[in-house]
Amino acid sequence: MQILLHVIVGVCKLSFIFPLLNQKQKDHHIQEWSKKLLKIFHIPLRVIGAEKLLSSPHLLVSNHISWLDIHVINAFKPVRFVAKSEVRRWPIFGWMAQQLGTVFIRRDSARHARQVVDQMAEVLKVESICIFPEGTSTSGESVLPFKPNLFESAILAHAPVFPIAIAYRSRSTGLRSDAPAFIGDMGLLESMSNVIASRDIEVHLSLLEPYLTHKSANTDRKALALYCQEAITKTL
């Protein structure tokens, strides 16, 4: 019931309050809503390396485990996301993502990916963006190879790139928790039920050393993707 009420509050804010707010005010509401969501699910957030983050627009690059990842990152620092087009069809959450300025990408279209890169480069001149370059979610046990296409946006915009490592752990053992993993044919409601049933999860968000694209004349998207993949893998 708490979750349903919280989602209804979020929908009402997006519908009636957000059109009247500036970006700073919107970010504050997004952050507070995300923090409250984690609290409802009894998931403490621990951030490591927050002092590394720059105030200028940047590209955040994260491994991907759960639908919770977006809310974890927003609880730390609200940002725009790039998500697979299927997310748009999720009940309520898909609509909310669309209202928050999420950029949706069709994974089966190279032409659409090129358009998204150009769109991201324009956004990165004024706002930060987060991507999940594995292209799918995993159990969190390992990191899949990063797809390099979207990294081109940071090069075009001369934006710094920050790898961030997300890890869900058991509070009682400190070991990796599988409860939040949103994988295979699992539905959103099933995944939410797994998280609710666990009540023993904490999430670690580690901000790693940035790659400053404007300081390297020979940066290419494959090298940038590999740098982020290896940094996150090493941390996990």
In this predicted model, what pLDDT tens digit does every residue of 168-194 receive, in sequence order? 999 999 999 999 999 888 888 888 889
* Lowest model confidence (mean pLDDT) among 81-85, 92-96, 162-166, 212-216: 212-216
State yes or no: pLDDT of 58 exceeds 80.
yes
Q: How far is CA 71 from the centre of its chain?
A: 7
pLDDT mean over 89-94: 78
Higher model confidence: residue 136 or residue 47? 47
Higher model confidence: residue 206 or residue 1? 206
Q: How far is CA 32 from the centre of its chain?
A: 16
CA distance 223 to 229: 10
92: left (phi over 0), alpha (psi -120 to 50) or beta: left
What pLDDT does 103 receive? 84
For the chain, first and last CA: distance in Å? Answer: 34
**Token code pair at residue 128:** 């930060």
State yes or no: pLDDT of 216 exceeds 80.
no
Query: Where do we find the tokens 């979610």?
Result: 137
Q: Which of 14, 11, 72 is nearest to 47 (CA)?
A: 72
Q: Which of 212, 210, 124 is nearest to 116 (CA)?
A: 124
| Contact of 183 with 138, CB cutoff 8 Å | yes
State yes or no: pLDDT of 108 exceeds 70.
no
pLDDT band (50, 70, 90) for residue 109: low
Query: Mean pLDDT of all residues in the chain?
Result: 90
> β-pairing, 161-170 with 201-207?
antiparallel
State yes or no: pLDDT of 77 exceeds 90.
yes
pLDDT band (50, 70, 90) for residue 149: very high
State yes or no: pLDDT of 6 exceeds 90.
yes
pLDDT band (50, 70, 90) for residue 49: very high
pLDDT band (50, 70, 90) for residue 78: very high
Query: Where do we find the tokens 């790039």?
Result: 82
At 164, phi and psi to the nearest 5? Answer: -130, 135
* R_g of the chain computed on alpha carbons: 17
* Lowest model confidence (mean pLDDT) among 3-12, 91-100, 104-113, 218-227: 104-113
**Burial of residue 147 (number of CB atoms within 10 Å: 0-12, 13-18, 19+):** middle
Higher model confidence: residue 43 or residue 220? 43
Task: Please give the full DSSP string across 10-66, using - where no structure is assigned.
Answer: HHHIIIIIGGGS-HHHHHHHHHHHHHHHHHHTT--EEEESGGG--SS--EEEE----
CA distance 63 to 108: 21
What pLDDT does 114 receive? 81
Lateral strand order in the sheet of 129-131? 45-48, 201-207, 161-170, 59-62, 129-131, 80-84, 103-105
